[in-house]
Amino acid sequence: MKGKRGMAAEQVALLLIASLVVVLIALALLGVFGPIDELLGRASDLEIAVQACNGFAQANLKTSYCSEFYDVKFPGASEKEWVNCEYLNTKNPLENTLGETCIGNPEKSFCDNLKKGKTGTALEKAEKTIVNGETCLVILQELGPTS
């Protein structure tokens, strides 16, 4: 049977270990060791978009290939951007592609929808959103007002 000092030392050691585990979990959740998805072995946003685009191309789903946008971060980029499959193919060649088949300006429609009903800071944030390599503000200025 252990004495009171032995039990106290054991409790202190367990408390220290438990505290260390809690700190490590908190640091991991804050992204100190890298994105949590990578730590857990999950696919990145870019990989998910690539797989979806390959599937759309293989099934010849032109509408989805052109009008579905994915929030991805390219390797070496400082921030995420919204991309469709046609643009993604120019940055990260896909196994299956439909080529340049998108009719009209799907990024303009995406930006229009993003801005709808927003004012002030929310509108500024929407205008700064990057879609297919350009900010919505630039896209909407280049392509003119919505008809």
Say how many CA atoms lie within 13 Å of 12 toward its Cβ.
6
pLDDT of residue 71: 92
Strands across the sheet containing 70-72: 70-72, 81-83, 130-131, 134-135
Number of Cβ within a 10 Å radius of residue 111: 26
- Residue 97: predicted pLDDT: 76
Do 64 and 56 meet the contact criterion of CB atoms below 8 Å apart? yes
pLDDT for 144:
62
Q: Is the pLDDT of residue 84 over 90?
A: yes
Average pLDDT over residues 16-37: 74
| Joined tokens for residue 82 | 């919204």
Q: What is the pLDDT of residues 116-144, one digit of tens each?
A: 888 888 888 888 999 999 999 898 887 66
- Report residue 34 as tokens: 């890298």
In this predicted model, which residue has the larger pLDDT, 13 or 109? 109
Residue 124: phi and psi, rounded to 5, are -60, -40
pLDDT at 106: 92
**Among the ranges given (29-38, 89-98, 107-116), the one the predictor scored with the smallest mean pLDDT:** 29-38
